[in-house]
Structure 1
Amino acid sequence: MILKSDADRNDAKQIFLICLIAAIVVYFYELTNFSLSVDEEYAFFSWPKEGLLWWVALGRWGAAFVDYIYRINVYTPGLTVFIMITINGLTAVMVSFYTFRNYFSRLVFCVFFVSFPQFAYQAQFSQQADTVAFGQLLSCLSGLIIYNSIFSDHKANIKRLYLGIIILAFSIGIYQSLISCALIVFIIQLIVKEDDDFEGRGRNWFLILSVACVSSLAVYYLIMIISQKALGVSTPDYLRGTFHWMKEPLQETAKNSLHVITSTLTGKYYYGSSLVPLVFIPIVFFVYKRIKTGSYKWSLPILIIISVLLPFSVVLALGGSQGPRVLMGLSILFAFAFAYSLEVLERLSLKTKKIIAILACLVMVNYSSSVVTSLFYSDHMAREIDSNIANRILSSIQFKYNDFDPRHDKVSFVGKLDVYNPWAKKNSDTFGVSMFSFSNGDPNRMSKFISLTSGISLNLHIASEEQKISVSLFPSWPNSGSISKNDGVYYVNLGY
């Protein structure tokens, strides 16, 4: 039992309410002003059948299962993100009450966890934001169960271990990067409870954890293969392209992977990572406290190094540059470092801890709300710009060819448009990008966006390579001569 007393249960309710309010402040703009983001236009038109098959093709059979059981619409503006932050709040409370004893340590962990800006890069994709949050809850739960199966009784509890393996396999089936959450939750238990639990069979924890992870991955891959064959889908080239170790020189891939790790830990990799380097301050502090109190053990620096590297599990596994959304577990590490530092400050009065906790939470929420709001507003402005572009393109065609009927005549977009969005933030991944430039110019994406925002279902024509070469000889839109007509198809040269 995580909540062993009425006092714990009352504290849990109070902390959950506080961290829910904090998360609402951080995601307030997206909760009240839904911004269409990249890939959400595809998800809207592919739901449900194609969307579910796409999850299976990506190896996310767990996400397909959850969506099939629970999801009514592919996403619901406002509600989907609210469900996400609610689940994140439950996850935070669960981990904090299992890990810490002090109320204010638990509070800091929960508020930092739900506010950490990295998860905004998951929240951007409404078609999976709540599902990934649920997967994260399961991953953290599996980490606690696996830890508990090793250390709670006089001998390892095999039934609990099996349960942890199954839950972890399912969470990986929702989103592969979530494996790092379970591992970090397990490792931080070792750091916090090392004095009590690390002797005896605790020396075998690495072997047991390794067996659990390998078993979970085996179950995951088995179900993935079976589900893909049963539904007649295969892993798309897009996913294979993310595995850089096999397609790029080893040295280049290793260099790019190291760049992701070092630039993240120095606060330069993605917009919103500026606070990440601060994680080393509490880490150094509680190591110093361990040394000073005589409770320092040789395993502590090893566990800390492992916990710092675990959020980059997918980066190390796939190699190369990966988006910030795969850095799952970074929020757990960041929240844990500060919360545990407050926990080991035993000589501080409760009043002083309360002041420190409140100030820390206010700073975190203020920073994160500014970052997250800026990210989602950049998406909002990108769609405003794109809507203006779409209307101008259709008007340009009708101006040149007054018999053009956008509901029936074939239209073909060639190339991509160089779109300037002054609201887009540097290193913000897909936030603030244009539908007319993303993915090297995807005409299907452009057409679906126009359908969503203009209410016109275009009769899209995909140009052949020969036609692209021919059209590219014309000036780029919006210059005169950028629109041409051939064999009943209206071509728009967006440029390269």
Structure 2
Amino acid sequence: MFKLNQYSFSNFKIAFILAILSYFFVYGFEITHFTLSIDEEPLDNFFQTLSAGRWGHALLRHYVLPEPYVPFFTTAFSLLVLSISAAFCATYLSLNKLQSAAFVIMLAAMPQFAYQLEFSNQADTVSLAFLCSVLSLFMLESFNLARYAIFIILTILCLSVYQSIFLFAATLLCVKLTIDSLQEKINFKDVFKRIIIFGALVLISLVINSFLSKWIASFYNVQISSYLSSMIGWGKRDIYSIFKSVLFFIRDCLAFKYAYGMNSFPFALLWLLGIILLAVKRKKTPCWCHLWR
């Protein structure tokens, strides 16, 4: 089901070993020197996370995982799950051993993981959400209603822990489609079909998750907070203000004026330029042109 019969299991093991070594290298100090950081002071976050719509996190903490965390163990468990997720990412992208090694090492250095692991009270649940997000993509490899149902379930589990993590699957899907187009394994019709199916299933998952979050919160007599809507705020602003803020965001990002984690994204433009120049040098059309063949 997860394509391991087609992808060399030895590649998966190598990707996992290199991933866990990378994560332990990056976060080894935190594992061996536990320190409290922001938002880790409360000993019970059950009602707070329920009010934020993160009912999966709340229930996992309440019935399975320790609340709020266990020093050393929680971080180590999180890194183990992230390493499994990284290996499955390499499997999904059908990378060879060398590519898998480079991919999982770079993945361990992503600032987003550093941000999430800063909060021990959600590090393990968020890691499980990443794993669900990756595994959900394997369900889209063939047209099958049962597999689509599993995709929805895994996406709901992901959303119930941390709402924005489903975008990780969207990003990984884009990477997969790009690789397949470069290797001429896919055409525009197939790309469009996969994107439409992914978007439709995610929309269904969002609707179901929204209903479940409200129902579970009401079951425990918890009021849903306006935290997420206040963070986004687009629905309360006019189009001109939204457009202006987006342009300012892009400008500051490209000028390296944002938070340290965001300052790595402009370098993606260098890789894009490199791909275009390499395609011209090899007298090939860029990858997006292959989609129309």
Q: Rate the CA distance shift 1:137–1:267 in 2: closer, same or farther, 3 A.
A: farther
CA contact (8 A) 2:20 2:83 kept: yes
Counterpart-to-counterpart distance in 1, 2:139 and 2:105: 23
- SS of the equivalent of 1:27 reads helix
In structure 2, the CA distance between the partners of 1:262 and 1:163, relative to structure 1 (3 Å rule), is: farther
Identity among equivalent positions (%) equals 24
Q: Distance in 2 between matches of 1:3 and 1:230?
A: 40
Counterparts of 2:214 and 2:288, CA distance in 1: 42
Q: What is the alpha-carbon root mean square deviation over aligned residues?
A: 2.6
SS in 2 for 1:214: helix
CA contact (8 A) 2:158 2:165 kept: yes
| Matching residue of 1:98 | 92
**CA 1:131–1:293 in structure 2 vs 1: closer, same or farther (change >3 Å)?**
farther
- Kindly tell me: are residues 230 and 293 of structure 1, through their superposed partners in 2, closer, same or farther at Cα, counting changes over 3 Å? farther
User: 1:478 matched to which residue of 2?
Assistant: none
Q: Distance in 1 between matches of 2:27 and 2:220?
A: 37
Q: How far apart are 1:68 and its partner, in Å? A: 2.7
Rounded to whole Å, the distance in 1 between the matches of 2:14 and 2:288 is 38
Give distance in 1, aligned partners of 2:254 and 2:127. Answer: 23
Indicate the residue corresponding to 2:20 in structure 1: 20
List per-residue Cα deviations over 1:343-393 (Å, max 9, x = no partner).
Answer: xxxxxxxxxxxxxxxxxxxxxxxxxxxxxxxxxxxxxxxxxxxxxxxxxxx
Higher helix share: 2
The SS at the match of 1:294 is coil
AA aligned opposite 1:38: I
Measured against aligned partners, the alpha-carbon deviations of 1:278-308 in whole angstroms (never above 9, x if no partner) come to: 2223333334444535354546799xxxxxx
Aligned pair 1:41/2:35, yes or no? Answer: no
Would you say 1:280 and 2:269 are equivalent positions?
Answer: yes
The structure whose RCO (Cα within 8 Å, separation 6+) is larger is 2
Distance 1:133 1:262 in 2: 32
Moved more, 132-141 or 270-279: 270-279
Q: Tell me the amino acid that sits aligned with residue 49 of structure 2.
A: W
1:4 matches 2:5: yes
Q: TM-score, normalised by structure 1?
A: 0.53
Asked whether 1:193 is paired with 2:187, we answer no
Pair 1:211–1:258, CA change in 2 (3 A) = same
1:230 aligns with 2:216: no
Check whether the contact 2:46–2:61 (CA below 8 A) recurs between aligned residues: yes
Native 8 Å contact 2:15 2:86 kept in 1: no
The residue type equivalent to 2:145 in the other structure is I
Long gaps (5+) in structure 2: none
Do the aligned partners of 1:244 and 1:253 also contact (CA within 8 Å) in 2?
no
Distance 1:200 1:215 in 2: 23
The alignment status of 1:85 with 2:63, answered yes or no, reads no
The residue aligned with 2:31 is 31
Letter matched to residue 35 of structure 1: T
Q: How far does the alpha carbon of each residue in 1:419-441 deviate from its partner, in whole angstroms, 9 at most, with x for none? A: xxxxxxxxxxxxxxxxxxxxxxx
- Please tell me whether the aligned partners of residues 144 and 182 of structure 1 are also in contact (alpha carbons under 8 angstroms): no
Structure 1 gaps, min length 5: 150-155, 303-496
The yes-or-no answer on 1:220 pairing with 2:209 is yes
Q: 1:200 to 1:143 in 2, by over 3 A?
A: same
Deviation at 1:252, TM superposition (A): 3.7
- DSSP 3-state at the match of 1:197: coil
Contact 1:191 1:300 survives alignment (8 Å): no
Residues 1:181 and 2:168 are matched in the alignment? yes
Q: CA deviation at 1:237?
A: 4.2
- TM-score, with length taken from structure 2: 0.87
